[in-house]
Structure formats: structure tokens, C-alpha cells
A and B are shown apart, each in its own frame.
Chain A
Amino acid sequence: MTLKESARNPTSAVHDEVLEAGRGWSHIVKKGQVFRIVDLEGNQAVDTLFYNANDPSDRYSAVDTIREQGNVYLTTGTRILSTEGNTLLTIVADTCGRHDTVGGACAAESNQVRYAIEKKFMHSCRDTFLLEIQTHLACMSKRDLTANINFFMNVPLKENGTLDFEDGVSGPGRYVELQAAMDVQVLISNCPQLNNPCNAYNPTPVRLLIWDAA
């Protein structure tokens, strides 16, 4: 893994907020702007979806992103591709090293399968996505929730065809930075999962910053 730092200073950011675990966030990052997610306390999965802000049916595609870069993990240099083959954003800095995009978002129903039928009550990323869409993104619905990116999450794939969730490769203060190639609708769930090591069993806040194009 190669790490790449950014010279951007938070004091010049045009947007700077902290998002607690268990909360959703939607925001348009304009073409040329740079978007940074900071893992404030370490090992926090940030479930993220991206859409062409002018046409949400043109949206992040995990499988196209993986296939076209020939690698299953996301890091500096990764072009975040859409279902129509467009570049939505490019990762321009990354002090974590790799990010998952096959582990998906937790859901009440998948928690029932993975852990126990009676876990249905627990808060989940897909519930957060749904509420954020229902509240703020009127033209979208559950149809638009597809395989997402899990920033800072570690899901190693093995050559024998197995995978598992492992303790994070991230740490306090690590960040990833993406530059938008078009106006991009961002949808985030700061993951509330308590049943596996994706958040080190302790979901924590993240910081979200945006800089205007230089």
C-alpha cells in the first residue's frame, strides 16, 4: 500500500462538519471541488454512494470501478466510475491505503442473516440511506441504493475465493480525498454496525470537508 498525503489546509475549506456515527449526510460536490473524509478516531466505516447530480440513474458502479482498474481495493489514483462509464471522482490523496467496495452496507435484514433473526431492531446503514433519501432526495428511492464504497473498511479477498471482515487498516486522523470530475451527489451513512470489527465495535464520528477548485 502506498499512502499519499494532501497539502490542503482545513482553514481554507468551504465546508467543514463532523458527522456522528449512525447519521446520514447528503451533499452535492461540484465539479473540480475536493472532498475529504477524515476517520477522526480510527477504524470507522463510512458507507458512501455517489451519483451524477444531474441524472441519479447514472450512479456509482462498484463492479465497473473494480474491473476497469484491475484491482478490488480503492486508493489514490482510483477513478470512481459510474454505470454509464463516466468518471464521477478520482481519489487524489489517501493516508489509509485501501478501501472496500464489495462489503456493502449493513441492513436490518442482512443483520438478521449474519448475526441472529432477533437483531432486526438494530440501526443500520441502509436504514440511514433510506431516511436520507426519503427526507432530502425526492427523486430517488431504494432502487438507487446499490453496492457502495466503505471508506476505511478492510475486507480482504483471498485467492481461494473467500473473504472476511477484518480489523481496520485505518487509524485516528487518517483521511481520503476525492476530486469531483462532474457535479456529484454524495450520500453517506456513518456506519452504526456493532456486530463486527468494521468499526472496531465502537462507531465514531468522521469529519467531512470540501475545498473549491484551485
Chain B
Amino acid sequence: MSASHLDQAANGLILQEPLRPGQMWSRVLKSGQVLRLTDVDGGGCVAALFYNADHTLERYNMPDTLKAQRIARLTTGAGLYSDMGRVLCSIVADTCGWHDTITGISNAAMTRAKYGEGSYQKLRNDFFRNSRDNFLTELGKYEMGKRDIVANVNFFVKVAVDNDGNLKFAPGNSKAGNFVELRAGLNTLVVLSNTPHPLDPSPHYAPKAVSLTVRAGLSATEVDPSLHSSAENERAFELTRRYFA
């Protein structure tokens, strides 16, 4: 864990807006821009997908990300790799410590089975949204769809794996005010969905308030702890540099 490298650069603020409970969101981060997600209440879960905005066939690849860095979770110093060996985003700060990328998202059927109907007709904008439908809706704005939903990141979620491979969801992994910062390596389309994680044991549909900020671009060599965190990451950053060269 580490504090933000960007606290002193508050004048670089480009955008600040809430990601409300249940909400979906997307934006193209220009290379170098930094997105901070803050878990306002604690216990959050923000599902995320990442694409090269200039050519969306290049997208976040969970296996490539994990095997190159020999990790099964994401935190400061981790690169989020594309399938083309480049860094879509890297985690430059993280006060939470563990973000999941192996247990996927909610869908309409499981949300209805777990929480009940939760229709818009009754609940208006507090209706029970799910991340698969949120992703399909948001991706549709970029002419993408089912075939573009891949294994995603779940920010603020910890699902540990024991020696026999059994999963253990960790309640309270993220505390109120915890944040994670992503620096874009490419011009990166980020798609977010804020709904409860499928393994969240709470019987009540209660997605959490999250806030988002985007700050001005900084070069990897200025701020990025993942640049030199391994020889693999140095090569991924080199391939990213060559892409723009």
C-alpha cells in the first residue's frame, strides 16, 4: 500500500464525479491520465473492463496480467496488461491492498434469485442493476457487446484461494475512504459497473457509493511504481512505449 503520488498535483484535476450505487460509467483515459476510485462507504465493488480506445480488439487480459507478474490479485505496482503485451493501466497507488480479477460479475438471473425482483417500476433509480447488463449497456455505446466482455477486475474485492483451491470471500476488505489509482498506459477505454459482488454474503441489495477523479497525465517514469517492479513489467512498458514511437 502507498499514499498517492499525486496529492501534491491537485491542480491537475480534470474531473470529479460520483459513481452512484448501481451505476455504470465509461471514459477514455488519455495515456498518462490517472483515474482514482474511492470507496466512500467501505465494502465496495467496482467491476471494470479495459480496452485500447484506438483499437478495442486489444483488451484487458486477466491470464496475461497474472502469469507475467506471478500474482493472483492486484495492488500497487501491478500492470493491467492487454492481450498484446502492453500496459492498459497500472496501479500507481492503492490503500486497499487487494483487488480481485478471477471471480467475475453479477448477472440478471443471479441478482433476481438473491435479492428479489427490484424493478425500476417500483424502485425507480434504486432498481437492482447487475454488472453484466450494465456492461452490455455501456459497451453498446462503443459498438461492442457480449463478445467483448472478458474476465474483469473487481476493485475493492478480495477473494482469497486456499491451498486446495477453495475460494474465500473476505468481507470488509475495503474500508471507508480506501482508494486505488490507475495510470493509463495506452489511450484506455475504462468501463465501470458498481453493483454487489456475486459472492458478497449480504442478503440485501446494497451497492456502495464510490467517487471518481481524473487527473492530468504524468509520464510513467515520474510516478509509476510498476515500471520497475519486475523485468516483465519493464518489457511491457517498453512494448507500450514502442506502440507510440
Docked Cα-Cα span, A104 to B150, in Å, equals 12
Contacts of A109 in B (CB 8 A): 83-86, 239
Enumerate chain A interface residues (CB-CB to B < 8 A). Answer: 57-58, 61-64, 66-67, 70-73, 83, 85, 98, 102-105, 107, 109-110, 112-114, 116-117, 126, 142-148, 155, 157-159, 161-165
Interface string of B201-245 (1 = CB under 8 A from A): 000000000000000000000000000000010011011000000
Segment from B16-24, B160-168, B188-196 that makes contact with A: B160-168
Docked Cα-Cα span, A143 to B239, in Å, equals 22
Least Cβ distance of B231 to chain A in Å? 9
Docked Cα-Cα span, A183 to B104, in Å, equals 25
Nearest 4 A/B pairs, CB to CB = A104-B63, A63-B104, A109-B85, A161-B73
Contacts of B163 in A (CB 8 A): 158-159
Least Cβ distance of B61 to chain A in Å? 7
Contacts of B70 in A (CB 8 A): 162-164
Question: B147 contacts A57, CB within 8 Å?
Answer: yes
In the complex, B66 has a CB within 8 A of chain A: yes
Q: Is the interface of A mostly helix, strand, loop or mixed?
A: loop
Question: A113 contacts B166, CB within 8 Å?
Answer: no
Question: B104 contacts A103, CB within 8 Å?
Answer: no
Contacts of B4 in A (CB 8 A): none
Question: B150 contacts A161, CB within 8 Å?
Answer: no
Question: A147 contacts B151, CB within 8 Å?
Answer: yes
Q: Known contacts A64-B104, A104-B63; can you find 14 more A-B pairs with CB under 8 A? A: A63-B103, A63-B105, A66-B104, A71-B164, A83-B146, A102-B62, A103-B66, A107-B85, A109-B83, A109-B84, A110-B83, A114-B67, A143-B147, A157-B165
Partner among B71, B84, B86, B110 whose Cβ is within 8 Å of the Cβ of A163: B71
In the complex, B138 has a CB within 8 A of chain A: no
